[in-house]
Amino acid sequence: MCQSAPWPSSPITSSDEILRRERGLARDGDEHRDLWQRWMGEEAAFFAAGGTRDRADLRVDASDR
């Protein structure tokens, strides 16, 4: 039998831009810094255009600071 998930269907995670970049570069290496900068700008524009934050059922702070 299938049951509904006990959590909202449209969650969004967030952390500040500096922390996200630090985590990404720690994982991927500093040689990917330009890629990260470009991608973060594209991601921000995509989320803004789609109203992602406004449509989220749940916001999760992933900053752990």
Token couple for 28: 């991927």
Task: Give strand ranges (E) for the chain.
Answer: 11-14, 58-61
Each of the 65 residues of the chain gets a pLDDT tens digit; together they read 455 556 556 767 777 888 889 999 999 999 999 999 999 999 999 989 988 888 888 888 888 75
Query: What's residue 38's pLDDT?
Result: 95
Query: What's residue 1's pLDDT?
Result: 45
The one-letter code for the residue type at 8 is P
Query: What's residue 2's pLDDT?
Result: 52
- What is residue 52's DSSP assignment? H
Q: Compute the distance between CA of residue 30 and CA of residue 34 in angstroms, rounded to an integer.
A: 9
Query: What's residue 64's pLDDT?
Result: 75
